[in-house]
Chain A
Amino acid sequence: MSLVLIRIDDRLIHGQVTVGWGSFLNPDRILLVSDEIAENEWEKELYQSCVPFNIAVSILSTDETIRVLTEKTFENERVIILVESPSVIVELVKRGASLHQVNIGGMHYRENKKKILPYVYVDEQDIQNFYFLEEHNIELICQDLPQAKKENLSELLIK
């Protein structure tokens, strides 16, 4: 599989991803990684119903994701990986996933979180997770839509 986008977005499957990035990247599949959703049939179906018919969807736990990343599953497919928060990416990396770049597309307002962009708010735990990913040579790029300006997260955190 070729990973065309690895994205942190707390709305998970929504218009910006299916329409915005979908028409730009032409993915064959969206792989949503969430232990919580993967075990809830109703929620799984709901997320699946939000994806246009020409894109396949897989909703997998972290364990299952590690398996499909190491085996030759979804061969020849262009895949978007979607997660809710940086902690999921950290988990994948700790379990041996080899990732090079992560897109931060939506971490919306929460109480006690610091604003670094209109669509990116972080707390201390998020920052620690981002530092962990940087130490593993993963580039962290904030960009909500393909036409939007790319911003380097590390530079924004220093400000």
Chain B
Amino acid sequence: MIKCIVLTHGDLGFALLNTTEKIIGPLEGIKVISNELTSLKDLITNLDSIVKNWEESEILIMVDFCGGSCWHAARVIKRSMSNIALLSGVNLPMMLSFVNKRESYKLPDLAYYLKECSLKGTEVIAGEEKQE
């Protein structure tokens, strides 16, 4: 079973996990880290300690957005580790699909699959709808 770290600004990661558990039920093997009031070096250290504990597992690190300190820390940790994949833009469709597919997929396939789920989970409704 693939493990997961949700790495975000502020409370976003905690709220995402909390909401996912409300929909699906209690979950294991998912950790949340926030960059709130943390230096980049400490963020990397925090991430590293979780990854070391899970070195036997495949780990997906889901980050809120590409380009911030969270993404930076994740890139540093991933650098030489083949059991880790990174995915940015974490959202609820991704979280739900992760839980559903974490046992049937391997990395990095799961990461690509979740990216697709995120795109498919985004709809635009605009203009006038046809009246019956």
Given the interface pairs A46-B75, A46-B76, the reply to whether A11 lies near B37 with Cβ below 8 Å is no
Report how far A107 CA is from B40 CA in the complex, Å: 10
Q: Tell which of B35, B72, B75 has the most Cβ of chain A within 10 Å.
A: B72
Chain A contacts to B: CB under 8 angstroms: 10-15, 18, 42, 46-47, 49-52, 106-110, 118-119
- A10-B67 in contact (CB<8A): no
User: Shortest distance in angstroms between A131's beta carbon and chain B's nearest beta carbon?
Assistant: 23
Q: Which residues of chain A are near B104, meaning CB under 8 Å?
A: none
Given the interface pairs A108-B37, A109-B37, the reply to whether A11 lies near B42 with Cβ below 8 Å is no
User: Shortest distance in angstroms between A27's beta carbon and chain B's nearest beta carbon?
Assistant: 15
Q: Which residues of B, 16-58, contact A by the 8 Å Cβ criterion? A: 35, 37-42
Q: Counting CB contacts under 8 A, is B9 at the interface?
A: yes
The total of interchain contacts (Cβ-Cβ below 8 angstroms) comes to: 47
Interface size on B, residues (CB 8 A): 17
Report how far A38 CA is from B39 CA in the complex, Å: 20
In the complex, what residue of chain B is closest to A45 when comparing beta carbons? B75
Chain B contacts to A: CB under 8 angstroms: 9, 35, 37-42, 65, 67-69, 71-72, 75-76, 79
Q: Which of A12, A50, A106 contacts B67 (CB 8 A)?
A: A50
In the complex, what residue of chain B is closest to A10 when comparing beta carbons? B39
Q: Which residues of chain B are near A13, meaning CB under 8 Å?
A: 72
Extra 12 A-B pairs, beta carbons < 8 Å, given A10-B41, A15-B65, A108-B42: A11-B39, A12-B40, A13-B72, A15-B68, A42-B79, A47-B72, A50-B71, A51-B67, A108-B37, A108-B38, A109-B38, A119-B37
